[in-house]
Amino acid sequence: MESINKRSYMQKLKAYKRNPISLVLSLLVMLSTILTIGILLFLIGYIMIKGIPNIKPELFQWEYNTLNVSLMPALINTVIMTLISLLIAAPIGVFSAIYLVEYAKKGNKLVSIIRITAETLSGIPSIVYGLFGLLFFVTALGWGMSLLAGAFTLSIMILPLIMRTTEEALKAVPNSYREGSYGLGAGKLRTVFKIVLPSAMPGILAGVILGIGRIVGESAALIYTAGTVAEIPKGSDFLFDSTRTLSVHMYALTSEGLYVDQSYATAVILFIIVVLINCLAGFISKKLSKV
Amino acid sequence: MTKYKESIMKAIFFAAACTSILAVTLICLFLFINGIPAMTKIGIFDFLMGTTWKPNNTPPSFGILPMILGSIYVTAGAAVIGVPIGILTAVFMAHYCPSKLYRILKPAINLLAGIPSIVYGFFGLVVIVPFIRDTFGGDGNSMLAASILLGIMILPTIVGISESAIRAIPQSYYEGALALGASHERSIFFVILPAAKSGIMAAIVLGIGRAIGETMQSSWLQETRQECLPGC
């Protein structure tokens, strides 16, 4: 038995014969999709095949020198840089989203200014952030090329991302939650922290993870603010040491042109980190849709 | 006491919200303070319209017209490559794709969006540049290489946003077109796509914005050459 709304390939072909434009259009659609997927597979495959044989134990030695070209310091610096940037950006982003959603009155002029500035921030190219960081944090505040200057620059960069995702998450919390909380006698602050924030947490986390992805991938802004010294920051004033993250490490290796094999290996590590971050974000937002 | 706490916290939230205003003001302030004097010293016209960038010459000349034109050419090239492929892929994702395939494709496109630009740049350096060198001659570092790479880079942005714009069009549009005798392709391309126009335009603008802001791979692929490009 054939179902009535299913067409056989012969029928489809006949319909296309009468309608050549449709045939061309659908061929174009197929072609571009195959192209997109092909490029993706080729890119991943190429980097994996060239990179995985180059991942050697000496790449993970504690100290960087020109013999082992270790990426370990860069890896650790990436983690430190991510933590500090999040420590700065996450509270500010979440708090400003709370202000925008829970406190600000509708039609407030200031709110629209905040929205516009946040959108401006998300549109600024990262190299301009690098220049700004160099002018402000590195020179004007006198921090020098340092972990702290890089982290502050990055936190301004990811601030709009965290703000927007948190805003969406807060808006998705049904109003009945808030009303219920007020009805039980809780104040505004208690309602926000005990009721609204916990139920918006998966959305906020997904935003933070997206922010981590951007930090890990950033290179242009960091070259001018955090420098390119391939060492793990040490000592009591480690915040003012120059560091390089994994992306900057890869930029330095490739620009020098001497360590192409190690560049491939670094690309693989970066890629794996991005895949992990993506999986984590997907997992958390899946949890969100279940709630 | 609680009242006190409430108002303190409100002030903190407010201060946090003002951070983005502060950041934009600071960025503008510092860029303008440092940029305007240089511009006036060189002369705004000489700066924007000058065709040579030779800071070491005497007298030095600082014309950024070649760079402006270079940005425009490369971005236009990236748009020519990335926009049609991106929109057509979005159409596939929204209206052709079986749901089983979609469950693989969607995360794959997201992944493509998450790959750091440095990895893309490296890919361009080791794959696209040699490819162009072998196919078209020359040394391979070219606007073409940069355009192709940026076209690939903006694909996921355009696919993602266009797809959600296409999905936002009510199903009744499609059904109505089918009922009037249009084929599947015709209903999509002549009814749904025009209806989703504004969303798709937003996708294109965001994609192009990303292309203009990219530096790393352009610096590798174009050898930051500053002579005047043909056509200016």
pLDDT in tens, B145-194: 888 888 998 898 899 889 988 988 888 998 999 899 888 888 888 899 99
Range list of β-strands (E), chain B: 53-54, 61-62
Predicted-assembly ipTM surpassing the 0.85 threshold: no
The neighbour count for residue A65, using CB atoms within 10 Å, is: 9
> How far is residue B73 from each of residues B60, B139, B156, measured CA to CA in Å?
26, 19, 21
Specify whether A24 is located in the same domain as A94: no
pLDDT of residue B224: 45
Helices (H), chain A: 9-18, 20-51, 72-98, 109-123, 126-133, 147-171, 175-183, 188-190, 197-217, 220-223, 246-256, 260-290
For an interface test with A, the pick among B115, B154, B220 (most A C-beta atoms closer than 10 Å) comes out as B115
Q: What one-character DSSP code corresponds to residue B62?
A: E
A158 reaches B (C-beta below 8 A): no
Q: Is residue A198 part of a domain?
A: yes
* Res. B222 pLDDT band, cuts 50 70 90: low
The pLDDT of residue B228? 37
Nearest C-alpha in A relative to B33: A135
Please name the residue of chain B whose CA is at the shortest distance from the CA of residue A120.
B24
| DSSP percent split of chain B into helix, strand, coil, nearest 5 | 80, 0, 20
Specify whether A26 is located in the same domain as A125.
Answer: no
Contact B13 A213 (CB under 8 A): no
Check CB contact of A217 with chain B, cutoff 8 Å: yes
Q: Are residues A73 and A40 in the same domain?
A: no
Omega of the bond prior to A198 within 30 degrees of 0, cis?
no
Q: Which two tokens stand for residue A176?
A: 């009945």
Based on the domain organization, do A114 and A252 belong to the same domain? Answer: yes
Residues A49 and A189 grouped into a single domain: no
What domain count does chain A have? 2
Q: How confident is the model at residue B227 (pLDDT cuts 50, 70, 90)?
A: very low
Of A26, A114, A132, the CB nearest to B27: A132
pLDDT greater than 50 at residue B230: no
Q: Which CATH number goes with the domain that contains A136?
A: 1.10.3720.10
Picking from A95, A136, A263, the nearest residue to B26 by CB comes out as: A136
pLDDT attached to residue A60: 75
What is the C-alpha to C-alpha distance for residues A95 and A116, in angstroms, rounded to an integer?
Answer: 17
Kindly tell me if the per-residue pLDDT of B229 is higher than 50: no
Can you spell out the DSSP letters for B118-144? HHHHHHIIIIIHHHHHHHH-S-S-SHH
Q: Is B65-221 CATH 3.40.50.300?
A: no
Kindly report the average pLDDT of chain A as a whole number: 84
Residue A156 confidence (pLDDT): 92
Residues A33 and A170 in one domain: no
Is the separation of the CB atoms in B74 and B149 below 8 Å?
no
- Dihedral angle computed from the Cα positions of residues B18, B24, B25 and B30, in that order, rounded to the nearest 10 degrees: 140
Q: What percentage of chain A has pLDDT greater than the value 70?
A: 94
Domain that holds residue A39: 9-53
Residue B207 main-chain phi, psi, to 5 deg: -60, -45
Contact B127 A219 (CB under 8 A): no
- For residue B152, list chain A residues with Cβ-Cβ distance below 8 A: 39, 43
DSSP at A58: G
